[in-house]
Amino acid sequence: MTKLKGLLLTEGMHGMISQVEGLAKSLDLDFIHEKVELKSFWKLLPPKLTPVSSNVYKEIEPSDFDIIISCGRKSVIPSIHLKKNSNKKVVNIHIQNPKVSFKNFDFIVAPEHDGITGENVINTKGAIHYLSEQEILANKDYLGSFIKKDQRKIIALIIGGPTKYYDYSIENIEKIFTNLQRLLEINNSQLVVIPSMRTPKNIINYAIEFFGENHTVIKDVDKKAYLSALAVSEYIVVTCDSSSMISEAALTGKPIYIANIKPKRNDKRFQKFRNLFKELNIIKNLSEELEIWNYQKLDETNRVANIIKQKIKS
């Protein structure tokens, strides 16, 4: 049977790519990913004040698609316009709150902490993503040539980067590193530090300087190293700024600790997300002692894909 063709639209940020590609894979689409660019004037306006027109965005090449999956503010208008002007019936799915009439989309996928509801809204616990258990296990041995060959248990530190809510000052990061260093010594563990696309270079260099030769700091963005760290670690520590990486770690069923940074503005929405994950027994704060606990692995991407498949069929 021929696969349905998917057109993925994002602004090109890792968290958005992870979500649209994850859903496309779970829907078993033959997909193409296009980075959306709005024309200069329209970058300044929210989607609700923007006309549904091809004049708003730079040309998108693919013309043959059955399903559009979009994520992010800039992709809202292109998704609506391409659906309306297609010469066949197209299903469009938007991830996150589009902040326009929900009727413009067949499905909207949004985390519970966004607080939106509707007939075509599918709420998720955290963010959907592109990781799978099979892919994590397949890359388990990748870090073998990087990490120290000893009997210490492994703690993975997954680092995000500065946002308008969280400041990656050396002072803030030093507090996290100092707390981690104490836990490493108490528990006779070794650390593997995994940076993301948003992690500043000076923070990676600071980690190398702070933890020294007894631990491992991956210097560049390396998806295989990230997957391997999720596979081999006993505990996973994730900085509080990334709901996506916390959601991805929850696929493992392993204890996840949140490295908190004092917010520089109201981060109520992020707190709501973390409170939900605490209620689900998925995360604890890094200040607590290390312990092993169990929770149901979170695989929201496949759950959402199955709902969409059933609704499309019916």
pLDDT at residue 313 in the model: 87
Pick the CATH number of 133-285 from 3.40.50.2000, 3.20.20.70, 3.40.50.1100, 2.60.450.10: 3.40.50.2000
- Is there a contact between 107 and 120 (Cβ–Cβ < 8 Å)? yes
Across 204-233, average pLDDT: 97
pLDDT band at 255 (very low <50, low <70, confident <90, very high): very high
66-100 pLDDT tens trace? 999 999 999 999 999 999 999 999 999 999 999 99
pLDDT at residue 2 in the model: 84
> Do the domains at 5-125+301-313 and 133-285 have one common CATH topology?
yes
Across 281-288, average pLDDT: 92
Give the helix/strand (H/E) hosting 258. Answer: strand 256-259
Q: What number of CA atoms fall less than 13 Å from residue 132's CA on the CB side? A: 11
pLDDT at residue 149 in the model: 87
Residue 1 has pLDDT above 70, yes or no: no
- Is there a contact between 36 and 11 (Cβ–Cβ < 8 Å)? yes
pLDDT band at 232 (very low <50, low <70, confident <90, very high): very high
- The partner residues of 115 in beta bridges, in order of sequence, read none
Mean pLDDT (the chain, rounded) = 95
pLDDT band at 288 (very low <50, low <70, confident <90, very high): confident
121-138 pLDDT tens trace? 999 999 999 999 999 999
Look up the pTM and report it: 0.90
5-125+301-313: CATH class: alpha beta
Domain assignments of the chain as residue spans, ordered by start: 5-125+301-313, 133-285
